[in-house]
Amino acid sequence: MPQGSLTVDGVSLTIVDLDADTIQISLIPHTVAATTLHDLRVGAEVNLEADVIGKYVRAYLARPGSAQGLTFEKLSEAGFL
């Protein structure tokens, strides 16, 4: 997801930047110390989960004609907000 959060091994993190090949996140010292993320090394396998709300909004916008006149009210009516 280009915006929102990404969960890495159960730790919810905010996406800083995203391109075709990489996702950039920033970690504060407390997050590193309080989780298992400090044990990760480059190339380690991790469990990733994308922001659920972002997935639903993306699916909604992918429907033909859905982006035309999209408002917060319509998102709320569809259960996104």
Chunked into runs of 10 residues, the chain (81 residues) has average pLDDT values of 76 83 85 91 88 72 70 76 70
Environment class of 38 (CB within 10 Å of its CB; exposed 0-12, middle 13-18, buried 19+): exposed
Residue 9 near residue 47, CB atoms below 8 Å: yes
Q: What is the pLDDT of residue 2?
A: 54
- Nearest-CA neighbor of 49 among 6, 1, 18? 6
Identity at 17, one-letter amino acid code: D
Q: What is the pLDDT of residue 59?
A: 76
Residue 51 near residue 23, CB atoms below 8 Å: no
All domains of the chain in start order, with CATH: 1-50 (2.40.30.20), 51-81 (no CATH)
> What does pTM read for this prediction?
0.56
